[in-house]
């Protein structure tokens, strides 16, 4: 074999391995995600809510791989979401004292935010709020990918 052919095969094999690795990172969270809560459970949690908001794809740092859209409802006990999130690993839900829509804004305010809990599903979710957190002390809710430090989406919430 010629050296040129060996180099081309090596490059093509490495490229395919990298492509497979990237596809695995993207699909693994989808494959291991638990079943999303039923719409009835989300609606029941939303019916008890005090605050409402909306996740939108139109946030400054949202893009084709990092987005969320749908309705968020917050009570003193739960945050419920009826909509869709882009799949990804290690999503966390935070309350923020100020509305943010970029990674830089998130990182600047992270010390003043409250970690609510993990988001494990991408179609609807209901996350319990720890008793030590009062949603009235915040004005926004953010979905953040902890593993990659990626902003996913956010919503400013208001009284229902």
At residue 154, the pLDDT reads 98
Q: Which residues contact 159 (CB under 8 A, 6 or more apart)?
A: 50, 51
At residue 28, the pLDDT reads 65
Nearest to 72 by CA among 91, 44, 46: 46
Helix, coil or strand: residue 69: strand
Q: Using alpha carbons, list the distances in angstroms from residue 124 to 27, 96, 139, 158.
A: 18, 21, 21, 20
Q: Residue 78: how many CB atoms within 10 A of its CB?
A: 22
At residue 8, the pLDDT reads 84
- The whole-model pTM stands at 0.84
- Model pLDDT for residues 46-72, shown as the tens digit of each residue: 999 999 999 999 999 999 889 999 999
At residue 155, the pLDDT reads 98
CA torsion sign for 46, 114, 60, 34 is negative
CA–CA distance, 37 with 81 (Å, rounded to integer):
10
Enumerate residue ranges in the chain where pLDDT < 50.
none
At residue 88, the pLDDT reads 87
Helix, coil or strand: residue 87: coil
């Amino acid at each position: 074999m010629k050296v040129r052919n060996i180099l081309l095969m090596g490059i093509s094999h490495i490229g395919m391995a990298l492509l497979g690795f990237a596809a695995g990172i993207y699909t693994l969270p989808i494959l291991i995600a638990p079943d999303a809560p039923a719409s009835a459970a989300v609606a029941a949690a939303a019916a008890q809510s005090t605050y409402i908001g909306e996740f939108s794809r139109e946030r400054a740092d949202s893009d084709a791989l990092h987005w969320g859209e749908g309705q968020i409802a917050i009570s003193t006990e739960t945050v419920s979401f009826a909509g869709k999130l882009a799949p990804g690993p290690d999503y966390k839900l935070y309350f923020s004292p100020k509305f943010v829509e970029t990674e830089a804004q998130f990182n600047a305010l992270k010390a003043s935010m409250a970690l609510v809990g993990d988001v494990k599903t991408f179609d609807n979710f209901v996350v319990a709020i720890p008793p030590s957190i009062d949603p009235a002390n915040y004005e926004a809710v953010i979905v953040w990918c902890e593993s990659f430090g990626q902003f996913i989406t956010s919503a400013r919430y208001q009284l229902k």
